[in-house]
Amino acid sequence: NAGVTQTPKFQVLKTGQSMTLQCAQDMNHEYMSWYRQDPGMGLRLIHYSVGAGITDQGEVPNGYNVSRSTTEDFPLRLLSAAPSQTSVYFCATGGQGTLNTEAFFGQGTRLTVV
């Protein structure tokens, strides 16, 4: 049972490049989300989705794009990478407040923008 799988685990980009961080889940959860983790700031919500075809912005959405065409996948796109986007990115599923359920996290993608 894979749970939540993120790829790649590590990535180095040059300023201005674009890329997609992949997130796939096999838990059949409707709710998926992306967070970034920065030292001293905890995790901040970038975008989230309550089901296929539905996405919404979180606290820090600028510079990122998402789509949700299937229940299983929720890719995060960096349109034009900037050094300020150097961070560790986590995808999570579940955690839907109406059910007070647990959120399940992937192992993270460490992104460095030079």
Partner 1 sequence: GNSVTQMEGPVTLSEEAFLTINCTYTATGYPSLFWYVQYPGEGLQLLLKATKADDKGSNKGFEATYRKETTSFHLEKGSVQVSDSAVYFCALSVINQGGKLIFGQGTELSVKP
Chain residues in the site for partner 1 (CB under 8 A): 4, 31, 33, 35, 40-45, 48, 50, 56, 58, 90, 92, 95-100, 102-108
Q: Which is nearer to partner 1, 27 or 50 (CB)?
A: 50
Q: Which is nearer to partner 1, 65 or 107 (CB)?
A: 107
For residue 50, which of 26, 33, 69, 28 has the smallest C-alpha distance?
Answer: 33
Shortest CB 60 distance to partner 1, Å: 12
Q: Is the peptide bond before 8 cis (omega within 30 degrees of 0)?
A: yes
